Amino acid sequence: MKYKRILLKLSGEALMGDQEFGINGSRLNEYAQEIKTVSEMGVEVAVVIGGGNIFRGLSGASEGMDRVQADYMGMLATMINGLALQSALEGAGVKTRLQSAIEMDKVAEPFIRRRATRHLEKGRIVIFGGGTGNPYFTTDTAATLRAIEIKADVILKGTRVDGIYTADPEKDASATKYDTLSFKEVYEKGLNVMDMTAFTLSKENELPILVFDMNIPGNLQKVVKGESVGTLVKN
């Protein structure tokens, strides 16, 4: 096994499936099965999900809403997604814990690093909700921060494209895929992997990022085994 402890970052939009908003139950269950499979292989799995399928703070702010207020709404959206994933995982027979950066003791534990690490060691899936708990930070930054705190081996960014390309492959048919990139190359080429705060945090802490297509069954297993899937960014 190439990776023993992973932080899986999923976008909120990924949960929509072919819907325009909200949560697609079958997509959620597919993700739960993928996560269950790698957990049963002995991999320790933590998950961070965005909230863009429900509410995106930045777009709320662009429509005249107070940015801080909008960001807190986005954090609550990540908790809704976290609860949904927790339910799907437990329905699949997996033990989980949901931890929140914002106190909401009726539905989630507070984020406590040592407790999160202990859950992982016991084979539980830990879902981190509520972003960093602060406005002006994205869930990409939350994922990077949590990955560093729990000493994850890698951030796995599950998307709907199979890696990082020279251009947007959905718009440019001539775009070619990179297998590996350095953080420096990503800066120089102006490629969009994560927002700059998250990206800089990963670089400074020498935490690799692997971008792959989460919607292909079996891809997550291949990634943790070290097979050539997606694009790896490292120092």
pLDDT tens sequence across 104-131: 999 999 999 999 999 999 999 999 999 9
pLDDT of residue 149: 98
Answer whether residue 59 shows pLDDT above 90.
Answer: no
Structure tokens at 9: 């970052």
pLDDT of residue 57: 79
pLDDT of residue 183: 95
Range of the domain at 201: 5-234
Strands 177-178 and 164-165: antiparallel
C-alpha to C-alpha distance for 98 and 109, rounded to whole angstroms: 6
Mention every residue, 6+ apart, whose C-beta is less than 8 A from residue 16.
22, 23, 24, 27, 53
Residues recorded for the chain:
235
Q: CA 81, 83, 87, 89: dihedral to nearest 10 degrees?
A: 70
Answer whether residue 62 shows pLDDT above 90.
Answer: no
C-beta separation of 75 from 54 below 8 A: no
Answer whether residue 161 shows pLDDT above 90.
Answer: no
Distances (CA, A) of 229 to 103, 108, 208, 218: 37, 34, 14, 11
As for how many domains the chain has, the answer is 1
Question: Sorting pLDDT into bands at 50, 70 and 90, what band is 154?
Answer: very high
**CATH no. for residue 131?**
3.40.1160.10
Per-residue model confidence as pLDDT tens digits over 70-106? 999 999 999 999 999 999 999 999 999 999 999 999 9
Answer whether residue 56 shows pLDDT above 90.
Answer: no
